[in-house]
Amino acid sequence: MKITKRKQFKAFLHFPIRKQFLLFASLLVPALANPLFSQPQTENPAEEIAFTGEEAPKTICLSSDDFPKIESPKFQPLKSEKKAGSQEELEEIRSYNEKIRKENEIWQQYQKDMEKQNRIKNYPKNLAGKVPQPESLFYAYEVKKDKEKYLDSFHGLYARFQTSQGSLASINRLSSPAEIKVGQKIILPVMQGLFIPLNPDSTLEVLLQKEFSSKINLSTPVYEIDGTSFYFLPDLSLSQTLMAFFHDTGMQLPLSKKIVTSEFGYRTSPISGTWKFHAGIDLAAPLGTEVFACKHGIVSVVSYNEIYGNYIDIRHEGKTTSRYAHLSKTLVTTGQRVSTGQTIGLVGSTGASTGPHLHFEVRENGTPQNPADLLKK
């Protein structure tokens, strides 16, 4: 039998007054409380999700032109040609000392900022903000012509400026110590660690990103310097493997055995019989012998023509390229990164060839170099 609301209300009137009051209150309080304490509904549920983590740091954009420039990181006494004790000598010494003092102010400030950064690093996070902050996190220095041939080399620079090899190499995007040149402007970070480009270019940078990718997250600081963005991983250094890779500046023989059948330079061409410049060396080897990359780099060309036959070009760090010609088979593709000693093809006799051999070239800025000299180094 269906009970109507009217019958329910009549039944309610027959309850004792106290019971009516309690029942009425139990219905009224939730009805009043609901609009006061309930959360408003929105059309987009995603807007209601609470933020639980730290905010990702914003990219810090910098220009190296604004970095304080260190002019003289050492004091050199003046060797005056004026008469000893004369007014002219005293004036020359005074001017020189004033010049050195101004130049060394930035050098001394760099040292102080490194000390400040080290203190901040060793303080608990809740107290680090109370420690004096460095005036600048990055400095600049122009590599000088160095009579000693050490002070402004890669090894001399990281020792003089008390920075780590990994910091100096990564922030300046160096692929080897040999890339330090006179007149080059280098960046000197006050903070020690690794600066890993968001868009790696060299083989070393690719290896760096692969090795430390697990340590990069949303809270990793990002510095954009002169248009290049770097993840900064504090207090990390190059692994032994990457350190060996960085210092490996030599070239490896592209074959397991070296039997030179034609040297670099002018010769009588075995094909045309004319006096002609030979831009590489010819290495004799049986058909199908493995050919190795002489040094790590990026495969820039895999092609064929009537002269070189099947050939491969590899672009190495800097402006060095190597060529491997007359191959019976190529085993790499354009754009592929290869490491030193990796098999890239097989010896053949394609193109203008009189028999199975490897024609091997090395060029600097497009100019042919004698591969035999480079292999000796």
pLDDT tens across 16-73, in order? 555 555 555 555 555 554 544 444 444 443 344 444 444 555 789 999 999 999 987 6
Instruction: Say whether pLDDT at 358 is over 50.
Output: yes
Distance CA 216, CA 193 (A): 13
The verdict on residue 239 lying in a domain is: yes
Same domain, 240 and 276: no
Q: Between 240-247 and 203-212, two packed helices, what is the crossing angle to 10 degrees? A: 180
Same domain, 207 and 336: no
Give residue 45's pLDDT: 39
Same domain, 234 and 362: no
Same domain, 277 and 360: yes
Distance CA 52, CA 54 (A): 7
Q: How many CA atoms lie within 13 A of 360 on its CB side?
A: 32
* Two tokens, residue 252: 């490896």
Residue type, position 279, single letter: A
Task: Express each pLDDT in 243-259 by its tens digit.
Answer: 888 887 678 889 988 88
Look at 298 and 317; give whichever has higher pLDDT.
Answer: 298
Same domain, 142 and 274: no
Look at 53 and 308; give whichever has higher pLDDT.
Answer: 308
DSSP string, 304-362: EETTTEEEEEEE-STTEEEEEEEEEEE---TT-EE-TT-EEEEEB--SS-SSSEEEEEE
Q: How many CA atoms lie within 13 A of 376 on its CB side?
A: 5
* Two tokens, residue 355: 């028999």
The verdict on residue 15 lying in a domain is: no
Q: Kind of pairing, strands 281-284 and 60-62?
A: unpaired
Name residues whose C-beta falls within 8 Å of residue 350's C-beta, 6 or more positions apart in sequence: 304, 309, 310, 326, 327, 328
Give residue 315's pLDDT: 92
Same domain, 264 and 235: no
Distance CA 279, CA 64 (A): 41
Same domain, 200 and 275: no
N-to-C CA span, the chain: 106
Task: Express each pLDDT in 123-167 by its tens digit.
Answer: 776 665 677 788 899 999 999 887 666 778 898 898 888 899 999
Query: What is the extent of the structural domain holding 189?
Result: 60-77+87-247
Look at the pTM and tell me if it is higher than 0.85: no
Q: What does pLDDT average to over the chain?
A: 81
Give residue 230's pLDDT: 95
Under DSSP, the state recorded for 64 is G
The verdict on residue 312 lying in a domain is: yes
Distance CA 311, CA 326 (A): 6
Instruction: Say whether pLDDT at 314 is over 60.
Output: yes
Report the DSSP beta bridge partners of residue 305: 309
Highest mean pLDDT among 8-12, 89-93, 231-235: 231-235
Q: Which contiguous run of DSSP H or E holds residue 374?
A: helix 371-376
Same domain, 184 and 267: no
The verdict on residue 24 lying in a domain is: no
The count of domains in the chain is 2
- Domain CATH code at residue 356: 2.70.70.10
Question: How far does CA 53 lie from the centroid of its chain?
Answer: 28
Same domain, 222 and 170: yes
Provide the percentage of residues in the chain whose pLDDT is more than 90: 37
Distance CA 52, CA 87 (A): 73
The verdict on residue 226 lying in a domain is: yes
Same domain, 240 and 99: yes
The verdict on residue 299 lying in a domain is: yes
**Least trusted range by pLDDT, from 17-31, 32-46, 183-197, 279-293:** 32-46
By CB neighbour count within 10 A (0-12 exposed, 13-18 middle, 19+ buried), where does 231 fall? buried
* Two tokens, residue 106: 């930035």
The verdict on residue 73 lying in a domain is: yes
* Nearest in space to 361 (alpha carbons), one of 318, 311, 310, 317: 311
The verdict on residue 33 lying in a domain is: no
Distance CA 75, CA 89 (A): 19
Give residue 197's pLDDT: 93
